[in-house]
Amino acid sequence: MKIYENVDLKNFSTIKIGGKAKKLYFPESLNDIKFLIKKSKDEDKKLVFIGVGSNTIFKDGTLDYIFISTKFLKNIEIKEEKDLFYLNLEAGVSFKEIINLVKKFNLEGFENLSGIPASLGGAVAMNAGAFGNEIFDIIEDVLWIDFDTNEHLSKKNEIKYSYRTTQFQKEGFIYKATIKLKKSKKDIAKIIKNHLIERNKKQPLNLPTSGSTYKNPPNNFAGKILEEIGYKGKRIGDIGFSDKHANFLVNYSNATFKDLMNLLESAERKVERVFNIKFEREIRIVE
């Protein structure tokens, strides 16, 4: 297991904000994960799992937590049953790598998720979604470790999940998950290409961003609400809500964590005052 000291956390967050990790661990096996969970408990330190970092923002300064990157958890196993494909994936497998498999075998079921900048573990933990679909539409089972280092292989119907949330956010670490896809007669590569073009039109992907900032309230859209209170394009220093999509935070140059938090808290206060809606963050703030 590789261990690095004084690591710039902004390099592990797509919005490029954050201080330093005193230590960052790169496990390569299930036993490494169990060791680090136990270490966290023994040393009474917070566990922070890092995937692609597309929805994670770190505070400034030096953070002395047990930071765990899934970068080297990349194993992929493929099982075919007639026209069905079962992909058993370790937590660090990226959506880009899944897309390559989907295109190779022309599989349907993943195409609406194709543009999400995520790793498998992080996407399952938050039940990531796009274009009306979510990862749990195709999940078969999840192998996870609880904070007492016990292993669990849970079928989809045994897992608690809902819109952008799952039990794993509080109960343990996702080591592997199996997704079920179907051999398609459609041109899946073309569908994926069109989805990516659509995302580029609607989202500010030319700047460092943390993706969707807030969960959509019931029967409403967070971006629409932010636009209605005048926060589309609103900035504090180098951090702002995009003028392309109001629910996306973007880093215009050298944004600070302090300015980011001030902007979030300002928006949340105004939304609650004007609409009596308490915004729920989709991004994860590590303080």
Whether the predicted pLDDT of 108 surpasses 90: yes
The predicted-structure confidence for 243-258, as pLDDT tens digits, reads as follows 999 999 999 999 999 9
Please report, for the chain, the start and end positions of each structural domain, with discontinuous segments joined by +.
2-69, 76-189, 206-286
The pLDDT of residue 182 is 97
Known catalytic residue at 281: no
Average pLDDT over residues 268-278: 98
pLDDT digits (tens, 9 = 90+) for 35-45: 999 999 999 99
Q: How many residues does the chain have?
A: 287
Q: What does the pLDDT average to over 179-188?
A: 97
Answer whether 251's CB lies under 8 Å from 25's CB.
no
Amino acid 69 reads S
Residue pLDDT, tens place only, 9-54: 999 999 999 999 999 999 999 999 999 999 999 999 999 999 999 9
What does the alpha-carbon distance between residue 125 and residue 42 come to, in Å, rounded to a whole number?
24
Fold of 76-189: 3.30.465
| No. of helices (H) and no. of strands (E), the chain | 7, 21
Q: Would you give the distance in Å from CA 50 to the centre of its chain?
A: 9
**Which DSSP helix (H) or strand (E) runs through 272?**
helix 257-275
pLDDT value at residue 135: 98
Three-class SS of residue 60? coil
The one-letter amino acid code at 179 reads I
Kindly tell me if the per-residue pLDDT of 199 is higher than 90. Answer: no
Q: Which pLDDT value is given to residue 210? A: 95
pTM (predicted TM-score): 0.93
- The pLDDT score that the predictor gives to residue 198 is 87
| Mean pLDDT over the full length of the chain | 96
Write out the CATH class of domain 2-69. Answer: alpha beta
Which position among 119, 242, 282, 284 bears the catalytic label? 282
Q: Taking CA 42 as the corner, what is the angle to CA 154 and CA 11, rounded to the nearest 5 degrees?
A: 75
Neighbours of 121 (CB within 10 A): 27
> If we measure between CA atoms, which residue out of 260, 269, 256 comes closest to residue 240?
260
Predicted confidence band of residue 131 (pLDDT cuts 50, 70, 90): confident
Catalytic residue among 114, 212, 242, 284: 212
Q: 93 falls in which pLDDT band (50, 70, 90)?
A: very high
Q: Given a cut of 90, is residue 205 above it in pLDDT?
A: no
pLDDT at 201 over 90: no
Q: What is the structure's pLDDT at 200? A: 86
Residues 6+ apart with CB under 8 A from 73: 27, 28, 90, 91, 92, 93, 121, 175
Backbone angle region of 199, left / alpha / beta, with phi > 0 → left and psi within -120 to 50 → alpha: alpha
Q: Degrees (nearest 5) of the Cα angle 74, 71, 31? A: 70
On the question of pLDDT at 159 being above 90, the answer is yes
Residue 231 pLDDT > 90: yes
Q: b or e along 10-32 (b: 16 or more beta carbons within 10 Å of the residue's beta carbon)?
A: bebbbbbbbbbbebbbbbbebeb
Report how far apart, in Å, the C-alpha atoms of 10 and of each of 85, 249, 257, 259 are: 37, 15, 11, 15
Instruction: Give percent above pLDDT 70 in the chain.
Output: 100
Helices (H), 69-212: 95-105, 120-126, 168-171, 188-202
Q: Which one from 114, 134, 164, 284 is the annotated catalytic residue?
A: 164
Q: Encoding tokens for residue 153?
A: 């292989």
Are residues 68 and 172 in contact, defined by beta-carbon separation less than 8 angstroms?
Answer: no
Q: What integer pLDDT is reported at residue 115 of this predicted model?
A: 86
Active site residue 164: yes
Q: Is the CATH number 3.90.78.10 carried by domain 206-286?
A: yes
Conformational region of residue 53, where left means phi above 0, alpha means psi within -120 to 50, and beta covers everything else: left
CA–CA dist 269, 45 (Å, integer): 32
212 is catalytic: yes
Asked whether this chain's domains 76-189 and 206-286 adopt the same fold, the reply is no
